[in-house]
Structure 1
Amino acid sequence: MAKSGPRKINRYSEEFKATAVRLSDLPDVLIQDVANALDIHPFMLSRWRKQAREGLIVTKGIKLDLETASELKRLRDLEKKYKLLQEEHDLLKKAIRFASDQKRKSSSSSKQTGKPTKSQ
């Protein structure tokens, strides 16, 4: 259910928009990462990028904070490594489950193939 009352509308400066666009243009940086870092919606950043292509937002002359740019690249690298580790973890869990199922099957079949006992 939607909240009643006035909506919060943020107004961003042209410099902020241009900086966001420049950050999103860096190699190996995703729009989603920049949007998350700046606490804005990715659609808004995509719209600003379109406006920059149309010349409505001027990005030339905007200097990027090198620390922010490197942090975004580092974040992207960490996310890639984390995803790889998750996949490896899932694979190991499946291997452990498979091995324990095989062990359980082999131990139950060996009990069944044992020598029958005589009943008196």
Structure 2
Amino acid sequence: MPAYKTGKKTAQYSLDFKLKAVEWSYETHRTVRSVAEALDIHPFMLSKWRKAYRDGEFGMVKSLKNKVKPDKAKDELSALKRRITELEEENDILKKWQRFQAEQRRKPTDS
């Protein structure tokens, strides 16, 4: 929980707490709002922490900072693989249609 400094009503969260909150919010099945509600903080505060995390203001180790990128890269890679599969299927259909048209032209018509 937050530690209150004397004379202030503002909560001070530890760096470890902020890092864990940001890492949870970057998981694919979670949203900023759901993480903020679970941790009992305002979503805007979590968004500010995410921006500071991206900008490197937390002074974290590079290995922690790079944890976010593989998820995005993995999602993008899987989307590209799906698109390649779709395009290959379309290409196969067009090739079959082209062969069908060529066969139709070669057959003599009974008229």
Provide the TM-score with structure 2 as the length reference: 0.51
Q: Which residue of 2 aligns with 1:102?
A: 94
Greater RCO, CA 8 A, separation 6+: 1
Q: Give the whole-Å Cα distance in 2 for the aligned partners of 1:74 and 1:24.
A: 14
Structure 1 gap ranges (5+): 1-12, 54-63
RMSD: 3.7
What per-residue deviation string (whole Å, max 9, x for no partner) do you get for residues 29-83 of structure 1? 555238x9xxxx72223x2x44xx7xxxxxxxxxx8x55xx44422211011112
AA aligned to 2:90 is F
SS in 1 for 2:26: helix
Structure 2 gap ranges (5+): 4-12, 46-57
Aligned with residue 90 of structure 1, among 82, 96, 103: 82
SS in 1 for 2:108: coil
Q: Which residue of 1 aligns with 2:103?
A: 111
What per-residue deviation string (whole Å, max 9, x for no partner) do you get for residues 3-52 of structure 1? xxxxxxxxxx658x73322x168xxx555238x9xxxx72223x2x44xx
Q: Give the whole-Å Cα distance in 1 for the aligned partners of 2:26 and 2:64.
A: 7
Q: Give the whole-Å Cα distance in 1 for the aligned partners of 2:26 and 2:104.
A: 58
Over the matched positions of the two proteins, sequence identity in percent amounts to 15
Provide the TM-score with structure 1 as the length reference: 0.48
- Runs of 4+ with deviation above 3 angstroms: none
